[in-house]
C-alpha cells in the first residue's frame, strides 16, 4: 500500500511539473501588448481568427499547442490574438479601432488581414519592431513552419 501511495504521489508530481512547463502561448491584450512593446520593442505576431473558422481552431489546437512553438513564440515575439468579428472598440498603439458594420469585421482585422481586397482566416501577421508588416500568411501555419518563421525573426533581431 505504501509503494502504491508513493507511486501515485510521484506520478502526480510529474503531471504537475509537466503542466507548469507548458503554460501555453503568452497571448497579450492590446493594452498589455502596447505596454510590453514600449518597455522592450520586439516583433509582434498577430493571429486573426473567428469563432466559425475550422482551420483557425486547428492552428490553435495544433501549432499554438506545440511545446516548441510555445517556447519560440514566448521568447521571440509578443503574441496578440484578435477575434475578427469582435464588436468591442480597441485601442491599438494610440488609435481606436471599431467593428466595421459594412464589412462585418473589426477594423483592426481588416487593417492587418485584408489582402487583395479580401480577408481570409486564419491570418497570421508579423510586425517588425517599427510596427511595419513584414510577413503575412492567410492559411494554416503548421508547427514546423511556425518555428522556421520564428527562427528568422530571432536571426533578424527586428
Give the domain CATH number at 132. Answer: 3.40.30.10
Q: Which residues have CB under 8 Å from 92's CB, separation 6+? A: 30, 34, 108
Pairing of strands 99-100, 96-97: unpaired
Span 117-134, mean pLDDT? 94
Q: Domain count for the chain, please give it.
A: 1
User: For residue 16, which phi and psi values (nearest 5 degrees)?
Assistant: -65, -45
Whether the predicted pLDDT of 3 surpasses 70? no
Q: Is the model's pTM score more than 0.75?
A: yes
Domain membership flag for residue 55: yes
| Residue 128 in domain | yes
pLDDT confidence bin for 155, thresholds 50/70/90: confident
Domain of 147 in residue numbering reads as 26-156
Q: Give the position of cell 510596427.
A: 131
In a domain, 130, yes or no: yes
Dist CA 13 CA 63 (whole Å) = 27
Structural domain includes residue 152: yes
Q: What is the pLDDT of residue 54?
A: 98
Q: With respect to residue 2, please indicate whether it lies within any of the assigned structural domains.
A: no
Amino acid at each position: 500500500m505504501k509503494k502504491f501511495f508513493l507511486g501515485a504521489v510521484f506520478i502526480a508530481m510529474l503531471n504537475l511539473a509537466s503542466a507548469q512547463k507548458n503554460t501555453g502561448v503568452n497571448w497579450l491584450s492590446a493594452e498589455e501588448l502596447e505596454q510590453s512593446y514600449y518597455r522592450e520593442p520586439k516583433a509582434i505576431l498577430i493571429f486573426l481568427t473567428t469563432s466559425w473558422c475550422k482551420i483557425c481552431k486547428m492552428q490553435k489546437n495544433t501549432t499554438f499547442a506545440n511545446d516548441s512553438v510555445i517556447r519560440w513564440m514566448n521568447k521571440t515575439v509578443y503574441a496578440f490574438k484578435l477575434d475578427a468579428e469582435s464588436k468591442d472598440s480597441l485601442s491599438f498603439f494610440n488609435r481606436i479601432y471599431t467593428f466595421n458594420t459594412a464589412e462585418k469585421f473589426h477594423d483592426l482585422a481588416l487593417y492587418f488581414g485584408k489582402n487583395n481586397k479580401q480577408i481570409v482566416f486564419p491570418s497570421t501577421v508579423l510586425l517588425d519592431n517599427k510596427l511595419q508588416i513584414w510577413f503575412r500568411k492567410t492559411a494554416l501555419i503548421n508547427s514546423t513552419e511556425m518555428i522556421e518563421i520564428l527562427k528568422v525573426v530571432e536571426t533578424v533581431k527586428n
